[in-house]
């Protein structure tokens, strides 16, 4: 694969912005405008934040540490380590501070999905 041909269409347009937010469920980093316009590329079906300023505020956070860029998640040991190997390529936070709202956690539970916070307080 030629690295010069890689397109990181999921990289936030203004990566230096202090307004970047990380999804509390998958840890992808985007601007609030990108979350509002497109929702979360990994979790939209569950958290439904597209076009909802209130939902963006409750399901994303500005408090995160470290950044990894994932281009080929399926073959990346970092993506496996971060539990994002099944997610879309993009920029992800290594650690995210905060918890998803109770209704989102209940939705995950009803689907048989165990919620694991991304702040590394619960280790595998």
Please tell me the distance from the alpha carbon of residue 121 to that of residue 97, in angstroms, as a whole number.
Answer: 10
**Strand (E) positions, the chain?**
21-23, 29-30, 60-61, 64-70, 90-96
Q: Is the pLDDT of residue 84 over 70?
A: yes
Q: Tokens in use for 124?
A: 């595998």
Q: What domains sit in the chain, N to C, each tagged with a CATH number?
A: 19-111 (3.30.40.210)
Residue 103: phi and psi, rounded to 5, are: -65, -35
C-alpha distances in angstroms, 46 versus 7, 17, 67, 99? 27, 27, 24, 15
pTM of the model: 0.79
What is the predicted pLDDT for the residue at 78?
A: 85
d(CA 60, CA 26): 10
* pLDDT tens figures, 3-51: 444 444 555 555 555 689 999 999 999 999 999 999 999 999 989 999 9
What integer pLDDT is reported at residue 115 of this predicted model?
85
Confidence band of 92 (pLDDT split at 50, 70, 90): very high
């Amino acid at each position: 694969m030629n690295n010069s041909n890689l397109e990181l269409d999921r990289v936030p347009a203004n990566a230096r912005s202090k307004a970047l937010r990380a999804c509390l469920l998958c840890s992808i980093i985007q601007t609030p405008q990108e979350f509002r316009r497109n929702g979360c590329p990994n979790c939209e079906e569950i958290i439904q934040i597209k076009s909802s300023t209130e939902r963006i505020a409750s399901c994303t956070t500005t408090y995160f540490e470290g950044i990894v860029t994932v281009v080929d998640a399926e073959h990346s040991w970092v993506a496996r380590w971060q539990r994002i190997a099944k997610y879309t390529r993009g920029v992800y936070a290594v650690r995210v501070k905060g918890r998803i709202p109770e209704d989102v956690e209940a939705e995950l539970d009803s689907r048989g999905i165990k919620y694991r916070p991304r702040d590394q307080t619960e280790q595998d």
